[in-house]
Amino acid sequence: RKLETETAVEVVDDQRGCPTYAEDLADVLGFLVSSRRRGIFHGTNAGACTWYELARQVAIEDGADPDRIDPCPSSEYPTPVVRPACSVLLSNRLE
């Protein structure tokens, strides 16, 4: 809800990930359990985007102004957590 109270929000634009819809992940988990699959599976939706791209799309879906979201590099984002530049998971084994 920062977009309602602040003039702009900065979101990192140099980290890529693969957002996954919770209901899709639930379906995958149900399939894995019912088929008694074992091992490590990466259940993700297709495609990838930066956190900035995701934030803009969420703003659009929520009816907020996406132009109030500004990109910034990870080096300028205030967090003690170090995140990888690319955390896109491949779901080859699941596919």
Q: Answer whether 3's CB lies under 8 Å from 64's CB.
A: yes
Alpha-helical runs (H) found in the chain: 2-5, 22-34, 51-62
Give the separation between CA 92 and CA 71, rounded to whole angstroms.
31
Give the separation between CA 25 and CA 44, rounded to whole angstroms.
7
pLDDT, tens digit (0-9, with 9 covering 90-100), for 14-55? 999 999 999 999 999 999 999 988 888 888 888 899 999 999
Question: Higher pLDDT residue, 49 or 84?
Answer: 49
What sign does the CA torsion over 86, 87, 88, 89 have?
A: positive
